[in-house]
Amino acid sequence: MRELIRLTPMTSLSRDDVAKLAGLARIEMSDEELVNMANEFTVILDAVARVQEVAGADVQPTSHPLPLRNIFRPDVVVPSLTPEEALSGAPAQEEQRFRVPQILGEE
Amino acid sequence: MIRNNASEMAAKLAAGEITSVALTQAHLDRIAAVDTDVHAFLHIDTEGALAQAAAVDAKRAKGAKLSPLAGVPLALKDVMAQKGIPTTCGSKILEGWRPPYDSTVVANLKKNDIVILGKTNMDEFAMGSSTENSAYGPTHNPWDLTRIPGGSGGGSSAALAAFEAPLAIGTDTGGSIRQPAAVTGTVGVKPTYGGVSRYGLVAFSSSLDQAGPCARTVLDAALLHEAIAGHDPKDATSINAPVPQVVNAAKSGDVKGMKIGVVKELNGDGYQAGVRARFEESLELLAKAGAEIVEVSAPNFEYALAAYYLIAPSECSSNLARFDAMRYGLRVGDVDGASAESVMNLTREVGFGKEVKRRIILGTYALSSGYYDAYYGSAQKVRTLITQDFTKAFEKADVLVSPTCPTTAFKIGEKANDPLAMYLNDIATIPVNMAGIGGMSLPSGLADEDGLPVGFQIMSPVMKDDRMYSVGATLEAALLSKWGAPLLDKAPIMGGVR
């Protein structure tokens, strides 16, 4: 198994890099979490960066195990959830709609 | 009664020797007796299960033609939506959520009159190999309660090994059915990708996720496989072709003249001595049963783990964006004047556990502009190379085999703070998901050094799932005659019930 954890130092992430990614991913994180994750990522990224060793320009990427094509179905109405069912898990609702916090700023 | 296999229970039900209500109640009693120690279940649906059982009994009394597993109880991994039943995926972000619809797997179970006892514990959103990442606490391995039952489907595997259920449903993204089966001495099958509908399976990594059967015997797994498999118009990635004849294969398949390929790269250094010994022994039994054992090489498998830990987090970072605190699930920080963005940030901070956050961030990074080609793009190329390795190997062999995991069950807490060590558990199972082929794990005995179960993995080409059942059933029969009794008879008897 020694080969699998062979470290080829390539990339590391700083606390601020992780903070930026956490912002993009919409996850609030404490300073301690950011620092810990940055440290862990140095090791994890070293390990996963190995994919670059064999990913030559001549290799086609595979995004999915099946040869997928668009699948069409006739445009017919089929039973679906009632408004009550669709709203059954809503954290908040109003007038048969999802009530969400303010999306646009005040100004 | 609970020590029987599912097929034996089905036979007794069909013969009128027992009722489904009695059988279901016996399992509910067993759960009440041992689950405080095992913690396989997150939710037990006593009322629903007994009602379903009574309905099957009534149908049977009227002489209705029933499916082979009608009336047999089952444990459902908590990643499957079941209408009106709490579905958490082991996460705080879905605590209390009751889906307004049934997943196709659940619909198929109900159609087959299989009684659903409740929902089983799992690593949060199926991310993990030990069930320690559940927000609701770990599940314990019935063989040794201080050890992990595997993951992510540790609740399902532990329920089988503790005789809390004779059947269970798992999902397998990188080994989450097969590794738990291996470390608990049970059987788990990841069907060909697209063989079982993903509709209502809460997505982790859509191009890898696959639901499948878990049981205590190969035949039981086959019966459950046929009950849940098949084309589903609600899942565009579901394969529109007949379901492989896995029950026939499990009943009468043999290995005479079959070529069984041993994958050179999935053995050797890093694999525990007892794991290797049981693997070699199983190979000898298969050879004695008439199979030809050949060696095959898959040079790119050594990159599978690295590619997996880019592809799965990338897809998860996208899939888990749906947990936005707006339409269902947890909402935190919704005070006057709070913005939607701050509510999302706070909800996801509180709702997601450490491993889920780690993977979302890793995936966000791997997909971000400037790094996409180096990470996600390269990982996709490795996926191509792995698939090509399988194609070449299947030219030389009908099925491929390896140990399911490098080691037996480790101690709870042992690897909790070392993500890379944890990831290494899935080294032999991940290539199967990358290529979308079928994989099975069945027990091959106990490791001499620790007395814990060892799994034997069988891999079959796309939609040739019947082959792994033929090999699995043959090996199971050979091992059974060698042991004289099922492996689980050697497990500690918990709760004093026999």
Residue range A9-57, pLDDT digits in tens: 446 889 999 999 999 999 999 999 999 999 999 889 999 999 999 999 9
Structure-token match 């041992």, residue found: B34
Structure-token match 């059987």, residue found: B187
Quote ipTM for the complex. Answer: 0.92
Q: Check pLDDT > 50 for residue B284.
A: yes
Specify the DSSP element, H or E, that contains B88.
none
Q: Which residue of A has its CA nearest to B346?
A: A28
Percent of chain A topping pLDDT 70: 88
* pLDDT tens digit sequence for B164-195: 999 999 999 999 999 999 999 999 999 999 99
- What is the model's pLDDT at position B218? 98
* Residue of B364, B384, B402, B429 to mutate for A, most A C-beta atoms under 10 A: B364
Q: Can you list the alpha helix ranges (DSSP code H) found in B268-333?
A: 273-288, 304-319
Among candidates B197, B133, B179, B157, which has minimal Cα distance to B432?
B179
Q: How confident is the model at residue A7 (pLDDT cuts 50, 70, 90)?
A: very low
B187-190: strand order across its sheet: B41-44, B115-120, B73-77, B167-171, B211-215, B187-190, B438-446, B453-460, B399-403, B259-263, B292-296
- What is the model's pLDDT at position B369? 87
Which chain B residues are within 8 Å of A73, Cβ to Cβ?
Answer: 233
CA-to-CA distance for B77 and B41, rounded, in angstroms?
9
| Mean pLDDT confidence for A63-82 | 88
Q: How confident is the model at residue B496 (pLDDT cuts 50, 70, 90)?
A: low
The radius of gyration computed from the CA coordinates of chain A, to the nearest angstrom, equals 23
Closest partner residue to A90 (CB to CB) among B193, B239, B328 is B328
CA-to-CA distance for A85 and A57, rounded, in angstroms?
50
Task: Walk me through the domains of chain A, giving residue ranges and CATH numbers.
Answer: 1-54 (1.10.20)
Enter the DSSP assignment of B40. -
CB B77 within 8 A of CB B169: yes
Closest partner residue to A59 (CB to CB) among B328, B381, B427 is B381
The type of residue at A33 is: E
Q: Check pLDDT > 80 for residue B456.
A: yes
| Residue B293: exposure state from Cβ atoms within 10 A (0-12, 13-18, ≥19) | middle
Q: Check pLDDT > 70 for residue A107.
A: no
Among candidates B457, B405, B461, which has minimal Cα distance to B195?
B461
Would you call B331 and A91 a contact, using CB atoms and an 8 Å cutoff? yes
CATH class given for the domain over B6-301+383-490:
alpha beta
Return the half-sphere exposure (C-beta side, CA atoms, 13 A cut-off) of residue B237. Answer: 21
Enter the DSSP assignment of B420. H
Neighbours of B316 (CB within 10 A): 25
The radius of gyration computed from the CA coordinates of chain B, to the nearest angstrom, equals 21
| Mean pLDDT confidence for B446-461 | 98
Among candidates A65, A104, A80, A79, which has minimal Cα distance to B206?
A65
Domain ranges of chain B: 6-301+383-490
State yes or no: is B77 an active-site residue. yes
- What is the model's pLDDT at position A1? 36
- What is the model's pLDDT at position A5? 38
CA-to-CA distance for A90 and B331, rounded, in angstroms?
9
Q: Does B346 touch chain A (CB under 8 A)?
A: yes
Find all residues with CB under 8 Å of B52, minimum gap 6, and list them.
B24, B110, B113, B115, B116
Percent of chain A topping pLDDT 90: 67
CB B132 within 8 A of CB B412: yes
* Residue of A2, A5, A27 to mutate for B, most B C-beta atoms under 10 A: A27
Structure-token match 């991310």, residue found: B127
Largest Cα–Cα distance in chain A? 61
Q: Check pLDDT > 90 for residue B151.
A: yes
Among B residues 353-392, those touching chain A with beta carbons less than 8 Å apart? 357-358, 360-362, 364-366, 368, 374-375, 377-385, 387
Q: Check pLDDT > 80 for residue B415.
A: yes
Which SS3 state, helix, strand or coil, does residue B173 take? coil
Specify the DSSP element, H or E, that contains B30.
helix B20-38
Neighbours of B127 (CB within 10 A): 28
Torsion on CA atoms B242, B248, B250, B251, rounded to nearest 10: 170
State yes or no: is B444 an active-site residue. no
Structure-token match 């199979």, residue found: B291
